[in-house]
Amino acid sequence: MARNVAIDEEACTGCGTCAAIAEDCFGLNEETEKAFVKDATACSEDEIQEAIDTCPEEAISWHD
């Protein structure tokens, strides 16, 4: 079973790091200037974990 990933929109600053690392999974909403999960199944868990580890605001996390 695939793990789910979430972005805390309040913590997100819209830097785009996650989208640069895993562009098939994450995108940037131009209106809110916040990241969002496009399709968590489109990337490997390793790519998502790299996005989690490099997020400067620690806004991305795994959840059930």
Domains and CATH numbers, the chain: 4-63 (3.30.70.20)
Q: Which of 13, 7, 61 is nearest to 33 (CA)?
A: 13
Q: Among residues of the chain, what percentage have pLDDT more than 90?
A: 92
- The arithmetic mean of pLDDT across residues 19-27, rounded, is 97
Contact 36, 26 (CB under 8 A): yes
pLDDT at position 2 over 80: no
pTM, two decimal places: 0.91
**Whole-angstrom Cα distance, residue 14 to residue 6?**
14
CB 25 within 8 A of CB 5: yes
CA distance 48 to 46: 5
Average pLDDT over residues 17-27: 97
- DSSP state, 44? -
> Residue 3: what are its φ and ψ, rounded to 5°?
-80, 155
